[in-house]
């Protein structure tokens, strides 16, 4: 494994007084990790440097053809003051799969983990301890070859940023309003839906802006082929409790394989719930809601954690779920997952990596 050069910042930056109040993703810690790749040298020049601008040629390919991938993960401070990651190798491996989809090189897994540990160690004072807070970690990779021909870049920059965060939605753990989007689509089968690449998110912004103007927090995407099956929310996967059973859209190639989704399914099954991964049509959902069988809806994601959905709107019809309150399973899942993440519940599954 390569050594990581560390260049500490000299100026002292003010930390927010109460980290639970910072706007998600707006306050960055003191340092960032950088590493370069090219086909001659492979991965090289691993370094932790002060967080700041990256000098780039405007002809770099990432600016033109969006050859870019990213991840979202978190480090948590436990009550004893220790710092731990939640299933980091799931993110590391998903980033490699995303990279494969857009022809970008994978990072060595142990090197990636070492970079995460060192960076968080250097900025450990930025790992918050207030209730509901964590250090959000954003690894990303961009194509740096200069030129306007469309082809795979020969050189890449890998970077890890970190930010102290509270909740992703201003609502916190209170239920949010979701609009089922019936105009734009986010991804199609054979496309990049399962990969965490910036282009997927760019494609989602127009619908989110439209929905935001109408008071919705986010949109729930329908499949890009028939516009019939629900897929995901973009910032989170979606789960429904219908008539006592838990349903979530199957991973059909256009849905992101969420780490929180996977962990939620594993926990729910361990607790004895029946969890069914399948294509779920919007008609089925509407029917269940009208029959009073749509008992709970929630989203799962690293940033979103477990977020209850209190209202679902489809074509001007709104269905209130669980009286607009957080449901029992949603709360149990939130407590179960965050309990493990913050070290309040024993980790019996080997999900935790400490630094």
Binding interface with ligand COI (CB under 6 A): 72, 235, 301-304
Is 176 or 304 the residue whose CB approaches ligand COI more closely?
304
Distance of alpha carbon 228 from alpha carbon 223, whole angstroms? 6
Reduced to 3 states (helix: H, G, I; strand: E, B; else coil), residue 183 is coil
Distance of alpha carbon 115 from alpha carbon 159, whole angstroms? 10
Is 233 or 294 the residue whose CB approaches ligand COI more closely?
233
Is residue 158 within 8 A of residue 34, CB to CB? The reply is: yes
Q: What is the DSSP string of 62-86?
A: HHHH--EEE--EEEEE-TTS-EEEE
Name residues whose C-beta falls within 8 Å of residue 41's C-beta, 6 or more positions apart in sequence. Answer: none
Distance of alpha carbon 245 from alpha carbon 43, whole angstroms? 47
Taking the complex as a whole, the smallest distance from the CB of residue 25 to ligand COI amounts, in Å, to 7
Is 319 or 351 the residue whose CB approaches ligand COI more closely?
351
Answer positive or negative: Cα dihedral of 324, 329, 335, 337.
negative
Reduced to 3 states (helix: H, G, I; strand: E, B; else coil), residue 269 is helix
What does the block give as tokens for 84? 């731990």
Is 31 or 186 the residue whose CB approaches ligand COI more closely?
186
Distance of alpha carbon 254 from alpha carbon 190, whole angstroms? 8
Is 153 or 218 the residue whose CB approaches ligand COI more closely?
218
Taking the complex as a whole, the smallest distance from the CB of residue 196 to ligand COI amounts, in Å, to 7
Taking the complex as a whole, the smallest distance from the CB of residue 145 to ligand COI amounts, in Å, to 26
Is 134 or 155 the residue whose CB approaches ligand COI more closely?
134
Distance of alpha carbon 37 from alpha carbon 249, whole angstroms? 36
Taking the complex as a whole, the smallest distance from the CB of residue 137 to ligand COI amounts, in Å, to 9
Taking the complex as a whole, the smallest distance from the CB of residue 260 to ligand COI amounts, in Å, to 8
φ/ψ of 15, rounded to 5, equals -95, 150
Distance of alpha carbon 353 from alpha carbon 355, whole angstroms? 7
Taking the complex as a whole, the smallest distance from the CB of residue 69 to ligand COI amounts, in Å, to 11
Q: Which residue is nearest to ligand COI (CB)?
A: 72
Taking the complex as a whole, the smallest distance from the CB of residue 185 to ligand COI amounts, in Å, to 17
Is residue 166 within 8 A of residue 132, CB to CB? The reply is: yes
Is 136 or 319 the residue whose CB approaches ligand COI more closely?
136
């Amino acid at each position: 494994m390569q050594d990581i050069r560390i260049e500490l910042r000299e100026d002292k930056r003010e930390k927010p007084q109460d980290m639970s109040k910072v706007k998600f993703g707006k306050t960055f810690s003191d340092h960032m990790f950088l590493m370069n790749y090219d086909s001659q040298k492979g991965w090289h020049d691993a370094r932790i440097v002060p967080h700041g601008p990256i000098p780039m040629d405007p002809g770099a390919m990432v600016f033109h053809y969006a050859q870019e991938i990213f991840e979202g993960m978190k480090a948590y401070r436990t009550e004893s003051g220790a710092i731990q990651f939640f299933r980091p190798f799931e993110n590391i491996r998903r980033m490699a799969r995303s990279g494969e989809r857009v022809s970008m090189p994978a990072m060595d897994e142990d090197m990636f983990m070492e970079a995460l540990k060192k960076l968080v160690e250097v900025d450990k004072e930025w790992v918050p301890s207030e209730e509901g807070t964590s250090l959000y970690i954003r690894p990303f990779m961009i194509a740096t070859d200069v030129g306007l021909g469309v082809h795979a870049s020969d050189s890449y920059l890998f970077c890890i940023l970190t930010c102290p965060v509270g909740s992703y939605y201003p609502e916190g753990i209170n239920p949010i309003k979701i609009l089922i989007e019936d105009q734009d689509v986010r991804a199609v089968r054979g496309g990049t839906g399962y990969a965490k690449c910036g282009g997927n998110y760019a494609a989602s912004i127009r619908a989110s802006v439209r929905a935001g103007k109408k008071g919705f927090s986010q949109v729930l995407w329908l499949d890009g082929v028939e516009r019939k099956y629900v897929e995901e929310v973009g910032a989170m996967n979606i789960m429904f409790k219908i008539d006592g059973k838990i349903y979530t859209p199957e991973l059909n190639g256009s849905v992101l394989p969420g780490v929180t989704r996977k962990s939620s399914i594993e926990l729910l099954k361990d607790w004895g719930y029946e969890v069914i991964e399948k294509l779920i049509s919007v008609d089925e959902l509407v029917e269940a809601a009208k029959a009073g069988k749509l008992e709970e809806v929630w989203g799962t994601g690293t940033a979103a954690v477990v977020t209850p959905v209190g209202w679902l709107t489809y074509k001007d019809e709104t269905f209130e779920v669980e009286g607009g309150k957080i449901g029992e399973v949603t709360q149990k899942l939130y407590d179960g997952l965050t309990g493990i993440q913050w070290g309040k519940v024993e980790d019996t599954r080997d999900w935790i990596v400490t630094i």
